[in-house]
Chains A and B, each alone.
Chain A
Amino acid sequence: MSALLEVDDLRVHFGAGDGLVRAVDGVSLRIAAGETLGIVGESGSGKSVTALSLLRLVPTPPGRIAGGRISFDGTDILSLPIDRMRAIRGREIAMIFQDPMTSLNPVLTIGRQISEVLELHLGLDGAAATRRTIELLDMVGIPAATTRVGDYPHHFSGGMRQRVMIAMAIACRPRLLVADEPTTALDVTIQAQILDLIRSLQRELGMALVVITHDLGVVAGMADRVAVMYAGRVVEEGPSERIFGEPRMPYTIGLLQSIPRADTRGQRRLTPIAGAPPEPHGETRSCRFAPRCVHAEPACRQSVPTLREIAPGHRAACLRDVVAPWARPS
């Protein structure tokens, strides 16, 4: 399958000189049409900056895309003039953010904000745009859509605001939806509603989906493939079943052993990862995880391990052959 989106050796830096932060430090990803890729990582792993880069939304300055290629459907979007990029944003690639309150305009009705997208990208006129807006609100499960188009963001609950954001994002039937922590601010029963909605819209519209989250449970329920990020790099990548069932990167294994699960008779003690993630300063010359890794050996500190193929489609950036204690023998 050819890729809809291809990211090749992406580098995003913030600041300069001694304070240079390599937030994204050589990330490569592929997403096929209609596929769901989950990007997981802890704070500072570079997952959100990677997501923003896909729409060229990294705030510049202080940030800048320092290298790499992003190609969307064969077009190199990093070299596009800004007006061509604007035409892709929202129309071909749409994004939803963690906090819908800060991403909606508080002084415009939600109807106005959605119609604007339709007028701008699809050239609909006022009446048609309003009709379509009501259809979209209906589609994302906002009750009494006809009357609610005139409401302002603060009239809605957190979950309903996220539905409004989703309506806006799918207004032009984008081919790729990037969801950055879409449910992190929501309660668990509302989260279930929103994830359900995103899944069914994705099926209906045939969109590809990138879900960025720190919650491995959310990824397990959504993603076909998973990329695990640590300190600006993808350290493991593969089909969901393999990443959760037979992870081969000690960081992934450590994360999974750190999570208290609600579904298992959890008398097992958690096995935390020692220490804390590194500050992303300085050039990477070794495995960034080595200082916290119980399997590290001298070789891990001498070079940067590259992603190597473990099984078809499953790659891990680890020199050692570490197997998770729960892995099914293959």
Chain B
Amino acid sequence: MTSPPVLEVRDLRVHFPVRRGLVFERIAGTVRAVDGVSFAIGRGETLGLVGESGCGKTTVGRAIAGLAPPTSGEIRINGWAGGPLGRLVQFVFQDPYASLNPRMTIAQTIAEPVRLHALRDDREAIADRVHELIELVGLRRAHAERYPHELSGGQRQRVGIARALACEPELIVCDEPVSALDVSIQAQVINLLQDLQDRLGLTYLFIAHGLGVIRQISTRVAVMYLGRIVEMAEKADLYEAPRHPYTRALLSASPVPDPVVERQRRRIILRGDVPSPMSPPPGCHFHTRCPVALPDCASGEATLSPVGAAGQVSACQRAFELDRILDGSTNATDRR
């Protein structure tokens, strides 16, 4: 038998109560941030988790890293599901400035987890490890004694990555790690994450809203909408033969830095806003904005089923008709 996946998530649900009232506080409703999500990530793989704000992608990452208590479901690391996962799952945050202690030098920041988890024995070994990590993420030794405010955004994100690596984790959850960075710096950090993966065999859950970044870094991709995964596939299959209308809409709405392509593309412009996760629509959550919804999409459960390529799953009952119907759809508007 092959070894279990590094991460296995089964039917994960994370619900947040919404409280109203100051004196007589009562629970007015529940935000179903994550509402039945299952997936696995193999060693050395990167699963890209993509979706718009409020879809629950960050909550999935936080639950896996132990930063948000799951309401139900199972999270296994290397097949093991008991208790806190501690250092085995590390988190790289979007805003490196807010996630670094301003009073600690870079060396102290990176040394702390090494010391706390007793990963090196003595002070000398810890110091060696810190320098090793600093160089590994492309910083210079001179940065070790600096404070976060003395570094640029890209350098701070490198520190965040070094701190995660210091724990020698099984899985690194990267939550929008490049979204706050300028384009030229973004590429430096993406390349760094890829190089580290090649050298150290790291496993990533990479959460982002940008389809370009996700395509660049992922092995497989899962698309989330209102607390659920609506499509998941190998990267090439998802981008070249998407089998869910939401995936298609996202792809067609993502701007491409090429005016020739932009002028010729057909866009699926979705109507309206994402409904509130406090009261998601019944049936397929996407049916209220879906350009190809049928009457019965508003009832029953939209479950993920295998479609097309090996490992590709979609929650759309019309998955196989999309090529035909979306091309002639009235919702697809031509530019100019």
Q: Which A residues contact B (CB, under 8 angstroms)? A: 42-43, 157, 159-160, 187-193, 195-196, 214-221, 223, 240-241, 244-245, 254-263, 265-266, 269-274, 276-277
Contact = CB atoms under 8 A, between A and B. Distances in A.
Per CB-CB distance, the 4 closest pairs between chain A and chain B, nearest first, are A217-B255, A260-B216, A272-B187, A192-B253
A220 B259 contact: yes
Contacts of A223: 259
A24 B241 CA distance: 46
27 contacts: A42-B182, A187-B274, A188-B250, A188-B254, A189-B249, A192-B267, A192-B270, A193-B269, A196-B267, A215-B255, A220-B258, A220-B259, A221-B335, A223-B259, A245-B260, A254-B184, A258-B184, A259-B257, A260-B190, A262-B214, A262-B239, A262-B251, A266-B215, A270-B187, A270-B216, A272-B186, A276-B185
Interface stretch (B93-101, B205-213, B320-328): B205-213
Given A214-B183, A216-B183, A221-B256, 12 more contacts: A188-B254, A195-B255, A220-B255, A245-B260, A260-B212, A262-B211, A262-B214, A262-B251, A262-B256, A263-B251, A263-B258, A272-B186
Interface in B240-283: 240, 249-262, 267, 269-270, 273-274
Interface string B60-103: 00000000000000000000000000000000000000000000
Interface centre among A159, A270, A271 (most CB of B within 10 A): A270
Contacts of A214: 182-183
Contacts of A219: 257
Contacts of B250: 188-189
What is the interface residue range for chain B against chain A?
A: 35 or more
A256 B191 contact: no
A263 B256 contact: yes
Interface string B212-225: 11111100000000
Interface centre among A157, A262, A266 (most CB of B within 10 A): A262
A263 B236 contact: no
Contacts of A270: 187, 190-191, 216
Contacts of A271: 187
Interface of B is mostly: helix
A238 B190 CA distance: 30
A294 to B, nearest CB: 13
A221 B254 CA distance: 10
B188 A272 contact: yes
B182 A43 contact: yes
B177 interface: no
A215 B255 CA distance: 8
Contact of A189 (B52, B182, B187, B188): B52
Given A217-B255, A244-B259, A42 B211 contact: no
Interface centre among B186, B212, B240, B257 (most CB of A within 10 A): B257
B330 interface: no
B227 interface: no
Nearest to A273: B184
A269 to B, nearest CB: 7
Nearest to B190: A270
B333 interface: yes
Interface centre among B154, B254, B256, B258 (most CB of A within 10 A): B258
A256 B251 CA distance: 19
